[in-house]
Amino acid sequence: MDPKKLKRISFFSRFLSLRLMKGLSGMHTIFPFYHVVSDRDLAHLRHLYPYRSEWQFEQDLETMLRYFEPVSLDDYLEAPKMGKGKARMVLSFDDGLVECHSYIAPFLRKKGVPAIFFLNNDFIDNRGLFYRYKASILLDHLGEKRVDRCILADYMAIPEDQVRDAVRMITYRQLPLLDALMDQLEMDDALYMRDHPVYMSSDQVNELIDWGFDIGGHSADHPDFSQMEEKRMEATVSKSMEDLKRRFPIKSALFAFPFSSDGVPEGVIRGILEDRIADVLFGTAGLKDTGMTRLVQRIPMEEAGLPAGRILRAEYLGYLMKVPFGRNHYFQAGR
């Protein structure tokens, strides 16, 4: 759900019973996901979305555990249509950030909560950096430095007061431009990651596997599938999964579409599943009925900046509001 829309709906859902809405909806398993949990000020995330502090995440988890039993993906797949008394959640984290190893996984392990961690192949061991993280670092560097803004304004031939907005609008396909802008200011993302590791190392990923957590693919370098040619979609998923299987002892082929599964045709999704390129696919469309056990739509828990209880109530109320119009099926919802 769009963060602005979710905030509006959350205002009306604040005093409604989550248990009641869950029962009325028939949606008894949720798939919440995050990217990072940190008490530090992270320059590579600061200008993208609000992320949870350790205390905020612990409060979120406490709320979710009050209403949902945490289960592994295998537990869900064994019985995807559990009854009303068996509300469950499958938790996941995207991008493979270093905090997954330093805080998130140890905390979840202590609580006995299973989770899936989705990795970008090219970024493991800090060998590369997601273009949006680069943009955030660049925006952070600009700050109040008018001289640097003028340098970039001259390079892009735009007014100085438009530089920050221009950086925010850079897309995956414009990565060379982003690298060129950083070069203009003599910025080095490799140096940034040396001083501030962004991603987990291979050893840390293996340790998560040893602890019993699931690992999945999130593409090589986080492209937007909605901007991708249809014929490349299946190959992109296949490349990510084959690389992970080669590098890590993963038991299932799990793939989470970067950004979202929006724009990926139903035929492509069915083809990926039927050809066993991936065993389960994950999107980010919120509470949706996909009609497929092995296509999961997850609930984003960060971008709206609201606590878990309000997000989940808003998701369930939004779902119930669409029931009379038949707009809860993912492939028919005009997403």
Query: Residue 84: what pLDDT?
Result: 53
Q: Which H or E run contains 58?
A: helix 54-67
What's the pLDDT score for residue 86? Answer: 67
All residues at 6 or more sequence positions from 202 whose CB lies less than 8 Å from its CB, including other chains: 124, 125, 247, 248
Look at residue 99 in the predicted model and tell me its pLDDT.
Answer: 98
- pLDDT computed for residue 334 by the predictor: 46
Which are the contacts of 143, defined by CB distance < 8 A and separation ≥ 6?
Answer: none
Task: Identify the helix (H) or strand (E) that includes residue 91.
Answer: strand 91-93
Q: How far, in Å, CA of 214 to CA of 252, rounded?
A: 8
Q: What is the pLDDT along the chain (335 residues), one digit of tens a residue?
A: 788 888 889 888 888 999 999 999 999 999 999 999 999 999 999 999 999 999 999 999 999 999 999 999 999 999 877 655 669 999 999 999 999 999 999 999 999 999 999 999 999 999 999 999 999 999 999 987 889 999 999 999 999 999 999 999 999 999 999 999 999 999 999 999 999 999 999 999 999 999 999 999 999 999 999 999 999 999 999 999 999 999 999 989 999 999 999 999 999 999 999 999 999 999 999 999 999 999 999 999 998 889 999 999 999 999 999 998 888 888 865 44
pLDDT at 295: 97
Q: Per-domain residue ranges for the chain?
A: 3-128+199-332, 131-194
Rounded to 5 degrees, φ, ψ at 2 are: -55, 135
| pLDDT, position 145 | 83
Cβ of 171: how many Cβ atoms within 10 Å?
Answer: 13
Calpha distance 240→235 (Å, rounded): 9
Evaluate whether the domain defined by 3-128+199-332 bears CATH number 3.20.20.370: yes
Give the pTM. 0.95
**What count of Cα atoms within 13 Å lies in the side-chain half-sphere of residue 164?**
12
